[in-house]
Amino acid sequence: MKWKRLLPLLQGELVYPGRVSHLVQAPDAKRETVRIASGLLSGVAAAHGRAFLGIPYAAPPVGALRWRAPQPIEPWQGERDATQTGSPAVQSVGQGRFAPVAGSEDCLYLNVYTPPGMAPIGGWPVMVFLHGGAFSLGAADNYDPSLLATEQQVVVVAPNYRMGAFGFLAHPALAAEQPDGGSANFGLLDQQAALRWVRDNVAAFGGNSGEVTLFGESAGAWGTSYQMLSPGAAGLFHRAILQSGVAVDPLSTVAAAEAQADGEVFAERLDAAGRYALDRLRALPAADIARAAPIRRGILGPGSWGPVWGDAVIPEEPARAFAEGRYRPVPVIVGTNSDEGRVFGLGILSRADFEARVRADWGRDADAVLARYPAETRSEAQLAFASLITDARFAHPADRMRRLLAGRAPVYGYRFDDVEAPFTIPHPWAPMPMRAYHAGEIAYVFGTRWVLANPARFTPAQARLARRMRDLWGAFARGEALPDWPQFTRAEPVVRVFSPDGDRTETDFATRYRCDFWEARLG
């Protein structure tokens, strides 16, 4: 198996069908009915919480609705079963005619998890989680937020959204067809539709639509930071948590005009050029589109997908908009993991491969980068590449984001530093220690099993760390003070370090991750 096909598995962002809340199988689970604007939902309630799964929040984006803004859902008659998750978005693991394809275009569903019992007067705070997966892979049902909901007394909502070409294809014909925006940003529009659904319906589940925290990991964090900029998301959330991803990474930001030119090439490769390009594209089987390799640069660099700026959805280049205050300031947590790049380093096959990747990615700065991250052997090259990715793609952008936001609203920084975080991918696919790897904090924030980690393997110290993190995420969502976590300021760039040995604060994050070096090259 080629490493490029294995990498999504190593990132823990494959779809694993049937991963639903344990509440559905709880011995004491009973049916519970809730009425929302679209009709009646029949979910489950147990002593440890309630779950309502597979709720449609927009019309299926199929047929003529492929590559259009999400449309309102049609009401249904009778009770709709809400004990099974909806289909994840269509996605391909790799490219080429034989690459496996999972999911469906009919994917605009969300899951709702609540504490047990009656909500307090005014309702529980709400946390909306955007899943990761490089805007190409993953699903809301890869995660079980039920413990977070019950333990922290919050409602957690987890939506799917369109990904890959279906969510982020740019094309001049799409821009002309939808002048109000949407070309290359359909996935962001889906996220906004889910937030509007929360605004209009979460009170039925005991949630307070005036206390919404939007949070996400990896691509979900990128999406969250883009929503801070988007006019269409105004007023739909009131706090944000960015776990390992920010929209000010210049290697992941693409102008609409550039993306549309790449989209024309993408369409031509699918024999969909000329006047009727969109008709041809909309007539193609979903699997053919999912398997086709992207042309433009997304959040993982060349050949990946992601949002663009320069349309009505994201009007301005993100770093400039944040720097000049053209966004909606909300309290925000911005954090990274100490060893984000370790999973990416597994893809380096040799010293020569490492140098080739650096020269392809960094061009005229390649010699300086190679000098700063020296390596001779394959193992050294893997570690050097891992360090480079950690610094350039995660740590430096997070530090930059915190500095841009500081002063306009409360900002909190963190570094997840459990160097023995559980990692379930076996040797030989993980020949070096993964330490505090990309996505390693997810099992701590949710406290439930997912693709890469099982909290049942936590040591007592790790279990206490996980509880501290959940308590802080919950306190933040409730608008409470965060114990022993000073705000980040430009004068005092304090970052909280999460460790099983006991948390601490530090102010040398920028030095630790060579931020001056990358600022000189990336801005």
Does some domain include residue 413? no
**pLDDT of 119-153, one tens digit each?**
999 999 999 999 999 999 999 999 999 999 999 99
Task: Give the domain range for residue 297.
Answer: 13-330
> Of the residues 218, 225, 304, 499, which is catalytic?
218
The span from the CA of 91 to the CA of 163, in Å, is: 7
Check pLDDT > 60 for residue 427: no
3-state secondary structure 55-111: EECCCCCCHHHCCCCCCCCCCCCCEEECCCCCCCECEECCCCCCCCEECECCCCEEE
Write phi, then psi, for 57 (nearest 5 degrees): -110, -5
**pLDDT of 50-72, one tens digit each?**
999 999 999 999 999 999 999 99
Does some domain include residue 148? yes
Check pLDDT > 60 for residue 8: no
**Do residues 248 and 277 make contact, with C-beta atoms less than 8 angstroms apart?**
no
Q: What is the pTM of this model?
A: 0.94
Q: Active site includes 21?
A: no
With bands split at pLDDT 50, 70 and 90, how would you rate the model's confidence at 302? low
Check pLDDT > 80 for residue 94: no
Does some domain include residue 437? no
Check pLDDT > 90 for residue 307: yes
Does some domain include residue 86? yes
Give Rg (Cα) of the chain: 22
Give residue 428's pLDDT. 56
Check pLDDT > 80 for residue 211: yes
Does some domain include residue 108? yes
> Of the residues 183, 340, 387, 499, which is catalytic?
340
CATH number at residue 325: 3.40.50.1820
The span from the CA of 291 to the CA of 96, in Å, is: 6
- Could you give the 3-state DSSP secondary structure of residue 407? coil
> Of the residues 217, 438, 441, 499, which is catalytic?
438
**pLDDT of 389-421, one tens digit each?**
999 999 999 999 999 999 999 999 999 999 999
Check pLDDT > 80 for residue 197: yes
Check pLDDT > 70 for residue 14: no
Write phi, then psi, for 216 (nearest 5 degrees): -165, 165
Give residue 10's pLDDT. 36
Q: Active site includes 13?
A: no
Does some domain include residue 370? no
Kindly give, in sequence order, each residue whose CB lies less than 8 Å from that of residue 482, ignoring residues fewer than 6 positions away: 412, 472, 475, 476
The two tokens of residue 341 are: 């790049």
With bands split at pLDDT 50, 70 and 90, how would you rate the model's confidence at 429? low
Check pLDDT > 50 for residue 247: yes
The span from the CA of 320 to the CA of 200, in Å, is: 32
429 versus 490: the higher-pLDDT residue is 490
Q: Which of 24-28, 301-305, 499-503 has the lowest mean pLDDT?
A: 301-305
Does some domain include residue 211? yes
**pLDDT of 435-469, one tens digit each?**
999 999 999 999 998 888 889 999 999 999 999 99
The span from the CA of 162 to the CA of 177, in Å, is: 19
What does each C-alpha distance from 382 to 11, 53, 342, 359, 474 come to in angstroms?
16, 41, 8, 15, 37
Q: Active site includes 340?
A: yes
Give residue 484's pLDDT. 94
Mean pLDDT of 234-240: 97
Kindly give, in sequence order, each residue whose CB lies less than 8 Å from that of residue 14, ignoring residues fewer than 6 positions away: 8, 93, 137, 138, 142, 451
Does some domain include residue 57? yes
Mean model confidence pLDDT for the chain: 91
**pLDDT of 337-370, one tens digit each?**
999 999 899 889 899 999 999 998 888 999 999 9
With bands split at pLDDT 50, 70 and 90, how would you rate the model's confidence at 523? low
Total domains in the chain come to 1
Relative to beta strand 124-130, strand 297-298 is: unpaired
Mean pLDDT of 296-320: 85
Give residue 183's pLDDT. 77
- Angle in degrees, CA 21, 22, 24, rounded to 5: 80
